[in-house]
Amino acid sequence: MSHHTESIFPDEIWINGHILTLDSTQPHAEAISIFKGQVLKVGATSDLIKTASSQSIVHDLKGQFLMPGLIDTHAHGIWGALRDMFEVYVGLSSSLENLMSAVTERASQVPENEWLSGGPWHMSWIDDIQRPPREILDMAAPRHLVALKDVTYHTAWLNTAALKACGIDKHTPDPEGGRIGRDKLTGEPNGILYEKAQNLGRRFIVPSSLQLAHAVKHMSHYFHSLGLTGFKEAMASEPELQAYYSADQLGTLDLHVATHMALNSLTSEGMTPIDQLLIWRDRFKSDHVHTSFVKLFLDGVAPSLTASFLEPYLPMPGCAPSAHNPDQLLAIPPDKLAEIVTELDNLGLTVKMHAVGDRAARAGLDAVQATRASNGHSDLRHEIGHTAFVHHTDHPRFKALGMVADMSPRLWFPNPVTPGQVKVLGPVRTQRCHQIKSLMLAGAELTYGSDWPAAAADANPWVGLAGMISRRNPFGLFPGFVGEAEAISLEQALPLFTTQAARSMGLEHVTGCLKAGFSADFIRLAKPLQGQTPEEIAKTKVLETYFEGRRVYASDAGHP
């Protein structure tokens, strides 16, 4: 900071509080002052009160708690907001009956022959349906075109009218990287589209620029209400990039955003040319939108048998363990992947690689190892996105390669998706999900991601934090644990949501902790997190959120 702090009078001072700074040189304080959106001083109430002028606003916290704003390093912010505002949504624990009645209800409100989208549905339901899945949707909305996303966003379910509108029939070939579900006897499409086959329908359901603008506004308010002051948009193509950029130009974003531009994705036909990524990077970069990030997919997800695992899936129809070939499930061949990551690294782009299975995670680590051998160690810290399953021999490689383990989605405790994991992986392997403590002990740097709205009913980071320190469902909705031995302490977990998250955005000198010269991004809670049970932490209510020293959220409970 260029100012001489002694000669500057703070704009505002907070005194008599419990302040957790996440700054290792001064972890705790009673008071904090800010000037022009930045932290001026952190220290004792008696010291900071002396720095006030007659113009300084003084807030008495009366023992309440301040800490840095939280950062979610893996969320689909616009997708989530569009879901909340414009789609059928019934919650992750819903039944097939609930979803169908919600589709019927929405159909009654929308003109005939228009598209209805939403979800989520569960892959496990399809096995129990005695007729082609498209016919179930036909009954729910006979005069509309319906396309529903499954809980992971990796599979779509269409009705007969939607299949017809998309030009999908028994003669349509499977697109590269995708598969059209078919009736075993007739070969007719059954209504299920796997992975990239979803693109055959997605082009018909494109949000307008006005809807996108509303979505960013909705998302910003929602994130602030949860105490989030920054996040990584896990997959952005041009419309999303434009929406974030436009909101920042209008001054309505009030979040630090890092956008991972989509190289290959579930929403694109082929690869985005790297020249195009560079154009987007330069065009959509702004004060709060950081665009030097790329997303690519290495595999799919476990419930649809598209994640690449070293060990075979459990035997089931169409899935023989003896025929298991994990490399066939990799979206990009390993040699090609190494070339791509090396080129992106050379161009200064940080790569987040979606990898659910342990074979996919290894492919991502191998690609960065080849990149480091070719380009030398850069300060770019490439990421394995999800890091759901990583073979234990690969744990130390994160530190050796200067990589980040992006822990998402929030599936490290029993939840509606757990039965689907158990069904295809078995109970033992499901318990190996998200080995947070083991990775930490191996020296890996970790961050927290919700993956909202994919496999996450909400973007609430407090639920994720509670689950991380208990590995059980914080609301008691699902019994038992996932990887009980992988639980970590509150003190170990908080950097994943703050300092380490800021570092993964390239903003480690800007946000993530409260120290002089940093952005005044902080939240106020009624009481300290220390000493609370995981169940209490999960129910945390944020009283206020500040971004760059401005209050961007206040709960109904008011402020001091």
Q: Residue 75 — very low, low, confident or very high, per pLDDT cuts 50/70/90? A: very high
DSSP 353-410: EEE-SHHHHHHHHHHHHHHHHHH---S---EEEE-----GGGTTHHHHHT-EEEE-SS
Residue 1 has pLDDT above 50, yes or no: no
Q: Each residue of 318-357: pLDDT tens digit? A: 788 999 999 999 999 999 999 999 999 999 999 999 999 9
CA 12, CA 548: separation in Å to the nearest integer? Answer: 12
Q: How far apart are CA 9 and CA 7, in angstroms?
A: 7
Select the more confidently predicted residue: 233 or 416: 233
DSSP assignment letter at 78: H
**One-letter amino acid identity for 157?**
W
Domains of the chain, first to last: 5-63+517-554 (2.30.40.10), 85-202 (3.10.310.70), 299-488 (3.20.20.140)
Q: Does residue 379 register a pLDDT over 70?
A: yes
Sequence letter at residue 47: D
3-state SS string for 456-521: CCCCCHHHHHHHHHHCECCCCCCCCECCHHHCCCHHHHHHHHCHHHHHHCCCCCCCCCCCCCCECC
- Is pLDDT of 4 > 60? no
According to the model, what pLDDT value does residue 428 have?
96
pLDDT at 258 over 60: yes
Tokens at 205, concatenated? 């359901």
Q: Return d(Cα 173, Cα 216) in angstroms, integer.
A: 37
Amino acid code (one letter) for 250: L
Tell me which of 500 and 184 has the higher pLDDT. 500
